[in-house]
Structures are given as C-alpha cells and as structure tokens.
Amino acid sequence: GNSVTQMEGPVTLSEEAFLTINCTYTATGYPSLFWYVQYPGEGLQLLLKATKADDKGSNKGFEATYRKETTSFHLEKGSVQVSDSAVYFCALSDPNTGNQFYFGTGTSLTVIP
Amino acid sequence: ETGVTQSPTHLIKTRGQQVTLRCSSQSGHNTVSWYQQALGQGPQFIFQYYREEENGRGNFPPRFSGLQFPNYSSELNVNALELDDSALYLCASSSLAVQETQYFGPGTRLLVL
C-alpha cells in the first residue's frame, strides 16, 4: 500500500540555520510527491511538488528532490526565518487510486530569532 | 481565480447529532476530496467526488457521506456524531488538467461534545 513517513518533531532552529525535514514513502505505482505547510489555525498550502523521479521542486527558498532509489523527498532550506514557523506535511498522490493523497503525520518547526 | 472556501469555520455539536459541512471548489476544478485531520495528525482521506459521483473512499464508515453539485460545490454529511469525530475537516479541489495537485480550503473545525 501507500504510506508516508516523515521526521518526528518538534524541530526548533535559530534564524538563518539550515533546515532538513526527512520524508520517505512507500507506493505501489509512480506517485507525485508534495510538501504542504500549515500555519496555525489555517488549512494546508501547497509549498512544492515533484511529479517524477529526479525532479526538484522549489519555492520560497525551500527545495526537495524526488529520489526513487531511496524513496525519499526530503525538504531543505538553506536559511530559515521566523516566518517559516509552521507544521510541514509530506504527501504523495497515487494515480492508481484516483490521485488520493496520503499524508505524513507532520513536522512542527519553530524558528527563534 | 477564486480559491477553495469552506463553511462554517467552526461548529459545535453533541453526540448523536448530524452535521453538514460545505465546500466551494476553486473555479474550473471538477474533483473534490474531503479529509479529516485529527489534532496533531496528518489529514486522512474520507472520499473523493468527480462529476457528482463518488470516485474513491477511505477507511470511514457509511455514516460519512457526501454530495457534489453541478456547480462543483460539495457537502460532507456525518450522521450519529461520535466524540472521535471532533477534528478539522478539509476539502480540496483539483482540475482535470492537473489532477495530481489538490488545493485545500481553510477547513471546518468540528467539536463534538
């Protein structure tokens, strides 16, 4: 079946630190991979995506590369800001199941000045 | 281009009652999915509608039901509410052209007492 496992939180970093949030997946087919961000009290916002192996998704300084050989899609940012504090969800979309989304449990990030 | 909207934003019900949550999809999107997000967890897929027909269902009992209307708005109905139904309910829409990417509404927070 399909599943997503992501790094447990919470993660606390100082401003301008390097961020990595690990995400690995299990899929029966050829999924698309996503990172969503959820700010307190809000719904999910699409941060970036990659639809095939070796694609790199990027947005707002965040990036992630679709690694089929390691079934991973780790999120990275070179220099975090206080405004990046949020919960980050890794997800996959499986075309074999009508593009149903499977989410990880989320990783809470707090950036301190 | 309008985003995905949901109503109401918050709702309090008592055990055994019924509830209807509403979603208005992003313009041009013909697929809507509903998710349940318990506190501290990732969203769990409830079901998906495409052209007014159910097009996939997650591991939720039949007391969770839905409708999609010709204007691509939709409803999630939950009968015989249980305490564990307390959660954030998210709807997400996608277009035929980019089916693997879903855009989420802000959610309805349901509290069952």
> Quick check: A104 contacting B, CB < 8 Å?
yes
pLDDT tens-place string over residues B64-91 = 999 999 888 999 999 999 999 999 999 9
pLDDT at B100: 66
> Quick check: B105 contacting A, CB < 8 Å?
yes
% pLDDT > 70, chain A: 99
Report the chain A residue with the minimal C-alpha distance to residue B95: A99
Contact A103 B43 (CB under 8 A): yes
Residue B2 has pLDDT above 70, yes or no: no
- Distance from A106 to chain B by nearest Cα, in Å? 6
Q: Which amino acid is at B18?
A: Q
Cα B34 to Cα B43: distance, rounded to the nearest angstrom:
9
Q: Which amino acid is at A95?
A: P
pLDDT at B23: 96
CB of A97 within 8 A of CB of B36? no
Model confidence band, residue B1 (pLDDT cutoffs 50, 70, 90): very low
What's the whole-number mean pLDDT along residues B33-46? 93
- Distance from A89 to chain B by nearest Cα, in Å? 7
pLDDT tens-place string over residues A16-39 = 999 999 999 999 888 999 999 999
What's the whole-number mean pLDDT along residues A88-113? 89
